[in-house]
Structure 1
Amino acid sequence: MKYVTNGFCPVRGCVIFKGNEKRIIMNTNVDVDAMRKDAVEIFQKGFACSESVIYAIKKGFDLDLSDDAIAMSSGFPWGLGDGGCICGALAGATMCIGYFFGRRTPGDEAFLKCQRLTKEFHDAFKEHCGATCCRVLTRGKEKNSPERKAQCISFVDFTVEKLAEIILREL
């Protein structure tokens, strides 16, 4: 699938201004299928769920974003450092929503939009995957088993597709 934002800056190197802050998005002609493929491939090479989501969004939108963002998400996998809580793919998506739509200063009303979009994504993830908690999603599957890896790949794949849909709709 190829998406072009509703006529919004459909050229390479567009800048979005939000208040006094700017965010650079290098590509708004996004191939969501390629992003999904990138996420799955990097997951299979050793990135975890949250890292794979951020990697694919960063690459697909050609974001002017340091790889430190990927590193910042390294504690999310296996439910927050193997705690079994929130799915890392969901946590990575939340970080991406914050990057595109979050606030940079106290009192910025972007916070409300970010919260709304995060809730929308959360609800879509829960409906599609059945839960948001890693231990519930992966119950009965050994941590490094092929069955669990295949299941997590499906979560990463869904996450990138749905996340890109929300981002493109809202730009």
Structure 2
Amino acid sequence: MLLFDFFRRNPLPSKPPLKRQPIMNSPAPRLEAADALVAAVGKHAAALFANRKLLCAEAIMVAVNEAFGQPLPDEQAVGIAAGLTAGIGDRGCLCGAIAGACASVGMVCARGGHGPTRQAIRQQSAAIHEAFVNRHKSACCRVLSKKVKDDAKAHAAQCAALTGYGAELAVRSILALRPELVDCPDAPTKGEPRLCGRVKWLLSLFCR
């Protein structure tokens, strides 16, 4: 009882309320970085097509390849995509924007110790196809170009826009499988400062 009376007469000092610590790892900057990368790669791919440098699938492969540190030489990326253009070898079947986007996901993701399973890449390819069809109502090159086939300028403008959209879908799928790529983890080239190939490429767009 004596001990109880002592603590009753001399209560312990109350602790001050804990201050809420600011959240340091907010996802907002990562989302902003992802959106910026998606937009930049889409714009670059569309420009490669619009400037008549590359066709749809080729432009997507090269733009994505450059953005993610060039896992392949550009010549090889173009060679892989060449047969996918204009509806698979000019046959008007699967739109080259879809084919190039799906091939780009595999090119970037299926390498190194980070490689996701082939099933994951197939699932992202299905998501690319679904998103494309939901927006444009078809995946067929012949159907997509039916209304503009007799207007070369309108045809080129439409295909450039489809190419840009395909590149955007590819980047979103890549980041879904390898979200750490937003933080630029690629090893630097020997003898160069630690600056990711994607950053160098983005800077080059404004320094030409």
> Which TM class, normalised by the smaller chain length?
0.7 to 0.9
Letter of the 2:45 counterpart: A
Q: Using the TM superposition, name which of 140-149 and 82-91 deviates more.
A: 140-149
Give the whole-Å Cα distance in 1 for the aligned partners of 2:70 and 2:35.
12
> Is 1:111 matched up with 2:118?
yes
Counting only pairs closer than 5 Å after superposition, residues 9-28 of structure 1 correspond to structure 2 as none
Identity of aligned residues (%): 28
Which residues of structure 2 form unaligned runs of 5+? 1-27, 179-208
Letter of the 1:82 counterpart: D
1:152–1:29 Cα change, 3 Å = closer
In structure 1, which of residues 97, 109, 128 is the aligned counterpart of residue 135 of structure 2? 128
Q: Deviations over 1:37-69 (max 9, x none)?
A: 211211122210001111111112222312212
| Higher-Rg member (1/2) | 2
- 1:4/1:168 contact within 8 Å kept: no
Give the whole-Å Cα distance in 2 for the aligned partners of 1:49 and 1:98.
17
Letter of the 2:78 counterpart: I
Corresponding position of 1:77: 85
> Which structure carries more relative contact order (alpha carbon 8 Å, separation 6+)?
2
Corresponding position of 1:169: 176
1:101–1:83 Cα change, 3 Å = same
Q: TM-score scaled by structure 1?
A: 0.74
> Is 1:139 matched up with 2:150?
no
Q: CA deviation at 1:121?
A: 0.9
1:102–1:144 Cα change, 3 Å = farther
- 2:60/2:167 contact within 8 Å kept: yes
Letter of the 1:49 counterpart: C
SS in 1 for 2:147: coil
- 1:3/1:29 contact within 8 Å kept: no
What is the root-mean-square deviation of aligned Cα atoms in Å? 2.8
Structure with more helix by fraction: 2
- 1:32/1:60 contact within 8 Å kept: no
Give the whole-Å Cα distance in 1 for the aligned partners of 2:90 and 2:146.
13
